[in-house]
Chains A and B, each alone.
Chain A
């Protein structure tokens, strides 16, 4: 099964900062990688699919990049509503697995 590692597990940043989160797959998953944002008590929200493509309606401040089995999510110009937990998910092959999550805190 594919294992997903995610780093850092948490980070602190200020409004206006740019932050980057990394997920690494244990084997080649092609571009089958998504990123999700979750605010406490709410359902996850889809941000990026296929490694780098924005879901409709998602702000271009979220940038996904793939380099081999490494995937990064960069969030530019952090706003108060961006402080949340972010998860990556690989969705090929089965079984799918989420990364453990990265919580972005306000500094």
Chain B
């Protein structure tokens, strides 16, 4: 059974840092791209960034709102994805979800964002 569990959320001051983890089980983590998505209280979903697999050199992509402040990394030996968040702002307050890009279907389309973790809350206080 595919499972994703985020951890590391909490209360942090403006300008501070926090590292979130997403621990995966039930699938071969090293073969999959992974994403971070966040949701501010009472608001919609916002894509944060993506970490590619080892075959694609663990390269990353980011939303403009976090580029230069957040870093996505992973440790395939620990089946874990990370989100290092620096220079935090009050507008970074949100529930942070990790999501998996699944495999391809018979027509070659990827099952992007097929499984999600329950999320972890980050609160940035001024």
User: What is A's interface to B at a CB cutoff of 8 Å?
Assistant: 1, 31, 34, 36, 38, 42-46, 49-50, 53, 55-56, 87, 89, 91, 94-101
Contacts and interface: CB of A to CB of B under 8 A. Distances in A.
A6 B50 CA distance: 24
6 contacts: A34-B112, A46-B111, A91-B113, A95-B63, A97-B47, A98-B44
Nearest to B95: A43
Contacts of B116: 43-46
Given A95-B62, A95-B63, A44 B112 contact: no
B80 to A, nearest CB: 18
A43 B97 contact: yes
A28 B47 CA distance: 19
Contacts of B44: 87, 98-101
Interface in B9-32: none
Residue from A31, A42, A49, A97 whose CB has the most chain B CB atoms within 10 Å: A49
Given A36-B113, A49-B111, A94-B61, A87 B119 contact: no
B68 interface: no
Contacts of A95: 47, 61-64
Interface of B: 37, 44-47, 50, 61-64, 97, 105, 109-119
Contacts, number: 62
A100 B113 CA distance: 17
Contacts of B37: 44
Given A46-B115, A87-B44, A91-B113, 19 more contacts: A1-B64, A31-B109, A36-B45, A36-B113, A42-B118, A43-B118, A44-B37, A44-B45, A44-B97, A49-B109, A49-B112, A53-B105, A55-B111, A55-B114, A87-B45, A96-B47, A98-B47, A99-B44, A101-B45
B43 to A, nearest CB: 9
Given A43-B119, A49-B109, A98 B97 contact: no
